[in-house]
Amino acid sequence: MSRPLKLTIHETQEELEKRLKAQTTASGKERLQMLYWLKKGHINSRKELVERLNLSSSS
């Protein structure tokens, strides 16, 4: 069982969504998407995040 992620995200959901729409690079979009999912509560563990982003677990 994976440990829950414990992060403090200071930006609001609206601010993250606005930044996500304005982002032009793929890596920037991926990072902002991750923060947005965490802020909304869609992701609760690193394993879920890795699966959703289709990354290897060593990333």
Of the given ranges (5-9, 12-16, 20-24), which has the lowest mean pLDDT? 5-9
| pTM for this predicted structure | 0.74
Residue 25 lies in a domain: yes
Q: How far apart are CA 8 and CA 2, in angstroms?
A: 19
On whether the CB atoms of residues 57 and 49 are closer than 8 A, the answer is: no
Residue 8 lies in a domain: no
Distance of CA 10 to the CA centre of its chain: 13
Residues 25-49 have pLDDT tens digits of: 999 999 999 999 989 988 888 888 8
> How many separate domains does the chain show?
1
Q: How far apart are CA 27 and CA 45, in angstroms?
A: 20
Residue 41 lies in a domain: yes
Of 26, 49, 20, 7, the residue nearest 39 (C-alpha): 7
Residue 12's pLDDT band (cuts 50, 70, 90): very high
